[in-house]
Amino acid sequence: MLNLLIIICIYWVYKYSRRWIYVHLFLFFPATLAHELMHYVVALITFGKPKAPYLWPRKTELGWVAGHVDCQRLTAFNVVPIAMAPFVLLPLAYWCYQQSHYSVSTQQVALWIIAAGICFIGAIPSRHDFKLMFRFPISVLLWGAICLVASWLYIEPKIRPLTPALQ
């Protein structure tokens, strides 16, 4: 019950703190840090030549930018993994949530749920991430096909019956 209450509070703060942008940017700085760090790490792994993450918020003509990572070498091979890198935080969010079930004190439960909320909010790709990804439509198709084949190879063996059907 406490888990659900904390999750509702995190959602409420995330939704309504956008009215006060400085409060929102301050409260969700850990999520922004995790989000940009994922872009940076995946860009390093895929040879995107990232520059250091920029975490100082700035106002643009389209709204506020909480942070960004500039990459000097975006290719059709690495643009989709770099743009969708924050999704790596979803398993971490799930793990933090699972840890809250094994906690003995209320404070530990609250901390694990807050950590899960931060990871979940940090895992949401920005509009700019999607725009960047769709600049390379061939890459989107290629990575989509790779994901479909990988999921088919992972799921398909589990669907087959263990014993041959009687004829």
Per-residue pLDDT of the chain (167 residues; tens, 9 = 90+): 667 777 777 777 777 776 777 777 788 889 999 999 999 999 999 998 998 888 888 887 777 778 889 889 888 889 999 999 999 999 999 999 899 888 788 888 888 988 998 999 899 898 889 988 898 888 899 999 998 988 888 776 665 555 565 54
Q: Contact, 85 vs 53, CB < 8 A?
A: no
* Torsion on CA atoms 37, 40, 45, 46, rounded to nearest 10: 140
| Tokens 């700085």 sit on residue | 29
DSSP 8-state assignment for residue 49 = -
| Tokens 């030549």 sit on residue | 49
- Alpha carbons within 13 angstroms on the beta-carbon side of residue 57 total 14
Q: Contact, 133 vs 84, CB < 8 A?
A: yes
How big is the chain by its Cα radius of gyration, in Å? 20
- Rounded-to-integer distance, Cα 101 and Cα 93, Å: 13
> In the structure encoding, which two tokens stand for residue 3, read together?
């888990």
Give the length of the chain.
Answer: 167
**Residue 40: predicted pLDDT:** 95
Domain ranges of the chain: 2-157
**Residue 66 CB coordination number (10 Å):** 20
